[in-house]
Amino acid sequence: MNRIGAMLLEFGLSLPRGHSHLKKLFAWIELQNEVLPNSLVCELKTQVEYYQYLSEKIEFQEKKLRLINKENIRYHLLQTIPGVGPLTAACCVANVADPKDFSNGRNFAAWIGLVPHQHSTGGKSRMLGISKRGNSDLRELFIHAARSILKRTETAEKHFGEWVVNLKRKKSFNVVVVALVVSLRQH
């Protein structure tokens, strides 16, 4: 998608962001044979075909993932958490053998690297950003889950109360995302 956008930008044409606009773009490319150079149209068509091929592969893998986890109770329970989709749930099931290994949600958050990094010297304790230790894939997926919740204020407020909205006003977006991920672990 980025390649297609970059190619069009070379000719002063910009396309809206998002996969939803691509179908319109595909139809538009078909009509541009006279306006754009033939070599560009051919390359754009190649990129469009490659994008469609990858989309089919992704869809196939997602179906396979759903079939594998069809009867897994933990997989379905994880998807009841706001923002957690099939990929996050499957990754969590694959990486966490037994949830009882964690005595509480904070231990799980520490395991995926979502607790503050601490630097102490001379009796002074300084809390820095998140430690980023542990399973980076799982941490990244949970961060994306939190971002998807924060994009819609009404969803965030519905599931997590007014504290999320208040926190959004006071702190930077990434700080709120991490706070929400740490809150997700309790669900």
Q: What is the pLDDT of residues 149-183, one digit of tens each?
A: 888 877 777 877 788 888 888 888 888 888 888 77
- 64 and 103 belong to one structural domain: no
Q: pLDDT-based confidence at 60, cuts 50/70/90?
A: very high
- Kindly report the three-state secondary structure assignment for every residue of the chain: CHHHHHHHHHCCCCCCCCHHHHHHHHHHHHHCCCCCCHHHHHHHHHHHHHHHHHHHHHHHHHHHHHHHCCCCHHHHHHCCCCCCCHHHHHHHHHHCCCHHHCCCHHHHHHHCCCCEEEEEECCEEEEEEECCCCCHHHHHHHHHHHHHHHCCHHHHHHHHCHHHHHHHHHCCHHHHHHHHHHHHCCC
- 124 and 139 belong to one structural domain: yes
- 87 and 145 belong to one structural domain: yes
For the chain, the domain total comes to 2
Strand partners for 65: none
In the chain, what percentage of residues exceed pLDDT 70? 94
Last residue of a domain, one of 15, 40, 68: 68
- Which of 30-34, 111-115, 125-129, 143-147 holds the top average pLDDT? 143-147
Last residue of a domain, one of 68, 103, 121: 68
- 120 and 163 belong to one structural domain: yes
- Range of the structural domain that residue 161 is part of: 73-184
- 172 and 159 belong to one structural domain: yes
- Are 87 and 75 within 8 A, CB to CB? no
In this predicted structure, the answer to whether residue 20 has a pLDDT above a threshold of 80 is no
- 86 and 37 belong to one structural domain: no
- 88 and 167 belong to one structural domain: yes
Mean pLDDT (whole number) for 112-116: 77
